[in-house]
């Protein structure tokens, strides 16, 4: 803690009763040029008071009694100051006064409140919150803890010191020290903002420190496979069995929209007969716990049937023999090279491809696609429609170029 200027002074203050001869003895506490005054509950005749010493004159019994009480009171002031410093709390004259008068101080702490929020949230995982959401808030709490230690050198901070500068510095720390991308930074700040807004609603802080701070995500263009690339991938023959399997599992995701973890966990009893008498997948997204119900396209059924008797699938009652995500992505890089696909192929591209090339691009309504992807709101699906707008723009640019050549 930075050393602050500090002083105390005892002085006489006139009573409201002007006919009274004695005056009240007050203590003045000054910290960094900000002062408070507090009554000692004692009185003294101005004729018997030494203003320079801040004590009663003489050595008679009355003077010795008063000076002894004032010495004791001064010791209490210094003790209160020391306690605040030992707590690594902000030292102010007002806080010293509060300690002396026994006034309870609202010392709600940022991380304590965050931890309490997360504890309540854990009890609702699977009911109101998905496991992935819970994990995000745990990570956000740890980032907030690390930031406070980095910036303020404390294990926690009082809520009342939350301000716009705190938020700005937190944003800077996430982007610089943690090397978070813009959208990732916005995501963690949005998690923290939820905690802060709860504090505002509870009346623990009067003003939202996020007021005026922009939390706008940048539009990210998601990579997808075109119909031609999807056909090349399907028709390619591999001499290595493992690469053939990885390609098939990736294609299965392209035709179902399931994320990696949902394909890996997909069990045979989650393939059911739908309302149309055809085979459907009925499961829940691991990330959000949202229900998924989707009919299996012929290509997905073909891949699923291919691995019906695979030893790993039979033993684990799974639909496909899925490797670790790291191994899958490693093989996909080789597969993209062999298929002449000039994109960094990762498993998540399959989900994007289902949403765009396979469904929206073939006229499936966005509401239906949203349900099949397990999105909780249509807004989550709308960015895939924007991808198609980009694709339309590129195709039209090619057409314009072709037409211009035909004219010449």
Q: What is the pTM of this model?
A: 0.60
User: In angstroms, rounded to a whole number, what is the distance separating the alpha carbons of residues 155 and 149?
Assistant: 6
Around Cβ 20, how many Cβ atoms within 10 Å?
A: 11
pLDDT on residue 105: 59
pLDDT confidence of residue 104: 55
The predicted pLDDT at position 171 comes to 96
Helices 227-235/241-254 angle, 10° precision: 150
351, 241 in Cβ contact below 8 A?
Answer: no
The greatest distance separating any two alpha carbons of the chain, rounded to the nearest whole angstrom, comes to: 118
Answer for the pair 292, 372: CB distance below 8 angstroms, yes or no: yes
DSSP string, 316-371: HTBSS----HHHHHHHHHHHHHHTT--S---THHHHHHIIIIIIGGGT--HHHHHH
**9: β partners:** 28
Q: At what angle do helices 378-407 and 366-373 cross, to 10 degrees?
A: 130
Q: Report how far apart, in Å, the C-alpha atoms of 294 and of each of 278, 348, 367, 368 are.
A: 10, 18, 13, 9
Q: What token pair was written down for 364?
A: 């499936």
Q: What is the residue-wise DSSP string for 128-189?
A: TB-HHHHHHHHHHHHHHHHHHHHHH--S--BGGG--HHHHHHHHHHHHHTS---HHHHHHHH
pLDDT of residue 315: 92
pLDDT tens for the 408 residues of the chain, in order: 555 789 999 999 987 777 778 899 999 999 998 999 999 999 999 999 999 999 999 989 999 999 999 999 999 999 988 888 876 667 889 888 988 887 755 678 999 999 999 999 999 887 778 787 899 999 999 999 999 999 999 999 989 889 999 999 999 999 999 999 999 999 999 999 999 999 988 888 888 999 999 998 887 767 889 899 999 999 999 988 999 999 999 999 999 999 999 999 999 999 999 889 999 999 988 777 788 899 999 999 999 999 999 999 999 999 999 999 889 989 999 999 899 888 888 888 999 999 888 998 888 888 988 889 888 788 877 777 766 776 677 778 878 888 876 665
State residue 278's pLDDT score: 92
How high is the pLDDT of residue 144? 97
Give the Cα-Cα-Cα angle 293, 297, 298 (nearest 5 degrees).
150
Structural domains in the chain, sorted by start: 6-101 (no CATH), 110-201 (1.10.150), 227-397 (1.10.443.10)
Output the six-digit token pair for 194: 């939820």
Q: Which ranges constitute the DSSP H helices of 157-290? A: 164-176, 182-201, 227-235, 241-254, 260-264
| pLDDT value of position 408 | 54
């Amino acid at each position: 803690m930075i050393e602050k200027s500090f002083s105390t002074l005892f002085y006489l203050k006139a009573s409201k009763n002007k006919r009274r001869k004695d005056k009240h003895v007050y203590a003045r506490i000054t910290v960094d040029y900000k002062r408070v005054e507090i009554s000692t509950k004692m009185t003294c005749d101005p004729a018997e008071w030494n203003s320079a010493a801040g004590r009663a004159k003489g050595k008679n019994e009355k003077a010795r009694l008063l000076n002894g009480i004032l010495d004791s009171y001064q010791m209490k002031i210094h003790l209160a100051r020391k306690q605040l410093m030992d707590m690594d709390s902000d030292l102010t004259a007002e806080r010293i006064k509060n300690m002396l008068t026994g006034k309870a101080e609202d010392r709600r702490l940022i991380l304590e409140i965050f931890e309490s929020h997360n504890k309540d949230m854990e009890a609702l995982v699977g009911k109101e919150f998905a496991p992935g959401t819970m994990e995000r808030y745990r990570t956000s709490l740890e980032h907030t803890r690390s930031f406070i230690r980095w910036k303020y050198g404390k294990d926690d901070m009082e809520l009342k010191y939350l301000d716009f500068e705190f938020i700005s510095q937190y944003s800077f720390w996430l982007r610089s020290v943690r090397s978070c991308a813009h959208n990732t930074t916005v995501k963690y700040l949005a998690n923290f903002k939820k905690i802060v807004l709860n504090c505002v609603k509870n009346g623990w802080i009067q003003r939202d420190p996020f007021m005026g701070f922009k939390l706008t995500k940048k539009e990210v263009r998601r990579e997808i496979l075109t119909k031609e690339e999807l056909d090349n991938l399907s028709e390619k023959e591999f001499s290595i069995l493992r690469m053939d399997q990885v390609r098939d599992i990736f294609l299965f995701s392209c035709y179902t929209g399931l994320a990696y973890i949902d394909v890996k966990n997909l069990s045979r009893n989650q393939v059911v007969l739908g309302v149309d008498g055809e085979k459907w997948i009925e499961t829940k997204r691991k990330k959000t716990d949202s229900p998924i119900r989707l009919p299996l396209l012929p290509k997905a059924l073909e891949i699923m049937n291919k691995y019906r008797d695979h030893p790993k699938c039979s033993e684990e009652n799974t639909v496909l023999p899925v490797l670790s995500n790291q191994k899958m992505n490693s093989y996909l890089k080789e597969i993209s090279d062999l298929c002449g696909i000039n994109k960094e192929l990762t498993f998540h591209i399959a989900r994007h491809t289902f949403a765009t090339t396979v469904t929206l691009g073939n006229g499936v309504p966005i509401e239906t696609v949203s349900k099949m992807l397990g999105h909780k709101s249509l807004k989550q699906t709308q960015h895939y429609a924007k991808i198609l707008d980009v694709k339309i723009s590129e195709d039209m640019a090619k057409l314009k170029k072709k037409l211009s050549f035909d004219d010449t």
